[in-house]
Amino acid sequence: MKFRRLWAIVVKELRQLRRDRISAAMIIGIPVIQLTLFGYAINTNVRGLHAGIADQANTAGSRALIMDMLATDVVEPVAKVETPQQLMDMIRRGKISVGIAIPPDFERRRFEGREAVQVLVDGSDTAVQNAVIQLAQAPVNSGAPDLRAPATSTPPTGQVSVVSFYNPERRSAVNIVPGLIGVILTMTMVLFTGIAIVRERERGNMELLIATPLTSAELMIGKVLPYIAIGFIQTSVVLALGIFLFKVPILGSLFDVYLAAGMLILANLSLGLLISTRAQSQFQAMQMSFFVFLPSILLSGFMFPFAGMPKVVQYIAEVLPLTHFLRLIRGVMLRGGSLWELGPDVAALLAFTFVMMTLAILRFRKRLD
Amino acid sequence: MNAPAAGGEGHGRAGATDGVAIRAHGLTKKFGDLVAVDHVDLEVPSKRVYGFLGPNGSGKSTTIRMLCGLLTPSEGEIEVLGLRIPEQAEELRRHIGYMTQKFSLFEDLTVRENLEFLAAIQGVEKSRTKGRIDELVDQFHFKDRQKQLAGTLSGGQKQRLALACAVIHEPELLFLDEPTSAVDPESRRDFWEKLFDLADIGTTLLVSTHLMDEAERCHNLAILDFGKIVANGTPDELTGKLEGCTLLVEAPDPRRVQRTLVAVPGVLGVAQVGTALRVLIAATDASADHAAATRQRIDDALAKAGQKAEVALTPPNLEDVFVAATRSDRTRGDGDKSVERAA
């Protein structure tokens, strides 16, 4: 391993990247655009569902109840109709997601303690369904007489109060932003290095390089180093935007955040290199990258809770670097933990990097056959 | 023969003993069922320009790649600069330059950046790097183009840059795989000047080509066909062996005469050159009788077809050598492998 050759590769990569305007722009562009977009857009706390209201009772009590429901902001009234049948029709046609039907005998039902209001839900979206269940519970908690949505089998949970630690306002951005660091790093890092070596092979540069004294390790490490720096730049962009736009807290130490990011960067880069030694064309490298990328997003716990997945899928998820990073970054940023307390995930990331890097260097042959 | 490799980087002589730079015996490469290179024996003298002449797909590139350790031979032994290949390929890489068939420098780096990169990779001493690059820039006429991106250079300029990069560490042995196949004759002549300059300062050059005018310039030549060496020697030796086998036929209607002559037994090839026809006749034993008999048959055939033509002996050229070497062991049906003629 000669430092001069290693450095020559690093300089070459940076010069090439500088001339590739679009790729260079994407280094900053991807985190900025994705963070602003997803930070605002991904919201598991549903607001503003279009609702239709059929108040057949039209009493002071029924109007007060509707006002209570609207006050939650979960629904936004878009239509007032006469009958529940009209509500069902509108749901089917996609005009509304929620229908609130109050029967003519509302007051008597309420007095007798029977179901007094029916909330019709478009169940084709589970997120909407969950939101409306909360909605139906709101009046119960506020002390109104027995009332619930008969469309669900969930029993009323009137007396159970949920206290959310660490994110009391239940803002999705707080949960999303640390995860997005991981998602963005996974996407760009795997792809960048996945293409790095294949590109040289496609353009014919590789035949020249392997006929020189350059070693596999010099080439691999020289190609990875610039992207480590790029990974940290992206991490900083996401963190800065997360703090300024979404007021995401960093309860643990900033150093630990960067350390965790650094470990994810290394893990992804080494995976990318392995892909690069395997793929025959840039197109194949992209496909392989996405083969890893999609499960990372869906199974790591970024989008869906890890605990809800079947055991087998959990095992698969344990192999993905993003899964471990999410535990680390949420632990450090949102719970104020330190990396020491999250040892197993640190170990998992390091082990992943070691295995991938070794395989990549072993697989890369200075031969054409 | 097993001279230990010189330890130093860069210019240390690896040991081209007894004036032979490359020696290969029974060199064979199979890709599945395809035999790309078939038991090639080779001896390349040092400080000379050695040419591989052959049509596309004759195994030139594959042979070169095996000789510089990029491909593992299926069979056979190779010794380059006293090193056993592929075992000592890493050691060899410090002493060779390799110019690939396809332009393999970085198109998104400038001329100077490419040279800088190769200098670092090839281990040119740091203190010498700047001077060496300036020297090459000067020598290869890149003074005004140092900051131009390599991708925007013309074909001839690209080849010059590739050669400059390939010799930046002053290798003892230079492999060039069809270096000028995409270059105009003017640039090609210029390029060959550079190659002879290199040979003069003691570099051994192995050049593959499918161009006759390039082959004619080589000190020594091996003609490859279907992975086999079908002839070798100096260009003069090769054409000398063919003395008395090439006829120049002048006729008012060369196209029709050509059709007549192709059918004559013993005629290996008929090529039209302007208004005349070059006719190559077989002389497997180099016997004058054999050639004379064929010539008689040609005269008979022309008389029978009632075609007027003047037939005269002419000195053979390398193309005739090539056609004779590649046709004689092939049926005439698939012998239509065209050899591009230089300008």
Domains of chain A listed by start with CATH number: 3-42+171-363 (no CATH), 49-141 (3.40.1710.10)
User: CB distance A2–B102 less than 8 Å?
Assistant: no
Helix, strand, or coil (residue B200): helix
Q: What is the pLDDT of residue B60?
A: 92
| Distance between CA atoms of residues A200 and A146, nearest Å | 70
Distance from CA of B223 to the nearest CA of A (A): 25
Give the separation between CA B176 and CA B100, rounded to whole angstroms.
7
Instruction: Answer yes or no: is pLDDT of A303 > 90.
Output: no
Task: Quote the mean pLDDT of chain B.
Answer: 84
| Three-state SS sequence of B268-298 | EEEEEECCEEEEEECCCCCCHHHHHHHHHHH
Residue A296 has pLDDT above 60, yes or no: yes
Residue A246 C-alpha, separation from nearest chain B C-alpha, in angstroms = 40
ipTM above 0.90, yes or no: no
Q: How far, in Å, CA of B308 to CA of A34, rounded?
A: 83
Residue B334 lies in a domain: no
Unique residue bearing structure tokens 């004058």: B288
Task: Determine which of A310-314, B40-44, B199-203 has the lowest per-residue pLDDT on average.
Answer: A310-314
Flag whether B215 is in a domain. yes
- B195 in the same domain as B82: yes
pLDDT of residue A171: 62
Q: Please give the Cα distance from B24 to B67 (Å, whole number).
A: 8
Which class for A85: exposed (0-12), middle (13-18), buried (19 or more C-beta within 10 A)?
exposed
The overall pTM is greater than 0.90: no
Q: What is the dihedral of CA B227, B233, B237, B238, to 10 degrees?
A: 10
B50 in a structural domain: yes
Give me the mean pLDDT over the A82-98 stretch. Answer: 84
Residue B332 has pLDDT above 70, yes or no: no
> What is the DSSP track for A134-151?
HHHHHHHHTT-SS---TT
Option in B71, B108, B118 nearest A19 (CB): B108
Write out residues 193-252 of A within 8 Å (CB-CB) of B.
Answer: 203-214
Rounded-to-integer distance, Cα B271 and Cα B53, Å = 19
Interface probe, candidates B104, B163, B175, chain A, greatest A C-beta count within 10 A: B104
pLDDT at A72 over 60: yes
Residue where the block lists tokens 């070798």: B232
Residue A29 has pLDDT above 50, yes or no: yes
Closest CB to B94: pick one of A209, A210, A213.
A213
Integer angstrom CA distances of residue A18 from A194, A206, A229: 19, 21, 14
Strands A75-80 and A49-55: parallel
Q: Are A202 and A281 in contact (CB under 8 A)?
A: yes
From the number of C-beta atoms within 10 Å of its C-beta (0-12, 13-18, 19+), residue B105 rates as buried
For residue B30, tell me if it sits in a domain.
yes
Q: Do B229 and B86 belong together in one domain?
A: yes
Based on the structure, what is the number of domains in chain B?
Answer: 2
The partner residues of A120 in beta bridges, in order of sequence, read A99
- Answer yes or no: is pLDDT of A325 > 90: yes
Tokens of residue B4, six digits: 């230990």
Q: Is the pLDDT of residue B268 over 90?
A: no
pLDDT of residue A127: 67
pLDDT-based confidence at residue A148 (cuts at 50, 70, 90): very low
Domain of residue B161, residue span:
17-234
B28 pLDDT tier (thresholds 50, 70, 90): very high
Q: Helix, strand, coil shares of chain B as percentages rounded to 5?
A: 35, 25, 35
Whether residues B127 and B213 fall in one domain: yes
Domain assignment of residue B113, yes or no:
yes
B159 and B298 housed in the same domain: no
Alpha helices in chain A (DSSP H): 3-19, 21-41, 60-71, 84-92, 106-112, 126-141, 172-203, 205-210, 216-246, 254-278, 282-299, 311-319, 321-335, 343-363
Residue type, A75: V
> Where do we find the tokens 């691999």?
A220
Q: Which among B94, B109, B118 has the least Cβ separation from residue A15?
A: B109
Whether A15 and B113 lie within 8 Å, measured CB to CB: yes
